[in-house]
């Protein structure tokens, strides 16, 4: 399965030695979700409209 990926990703941040290191080492930094300021980030709620038998059938098909 092929996914479309953007050619560029923009992230605005202050310029520092860490910025240079990120560019030279071709690395991205991702903060730990525990440190996010919105308690709902990274905690999606999924509600199923299927009963257990339907979910089991879907799982066995996958």
Tens of pLDDT along the chain (62 residues) come to 567 787 887 767 778 888 888 889 988 778 887 787 776 777 767 788 889 999 899 889 98
How far apart are alpha carbons 56 and 60 in whole angstroms?
A: 6
How far apart are alpha carbons 36 and 43 in whole angstroms?
A: 11
What is the pTM (predicted TM-score) of this model?
A: 0.31
């Amino acid at each position: 399965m092929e996914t479309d990926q953007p050619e560029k990703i923009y992230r605005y941040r202050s310029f520092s030695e860490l910025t240079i290191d990120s560019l030279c080492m071709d690395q991205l930094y991702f903060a730990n979700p525990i440190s996010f300021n919105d308690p709902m980030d990274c905690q999606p709620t999924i509600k199923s409209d299927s009963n257990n038998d339907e979910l089991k059938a879907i799982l066995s098909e996958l």
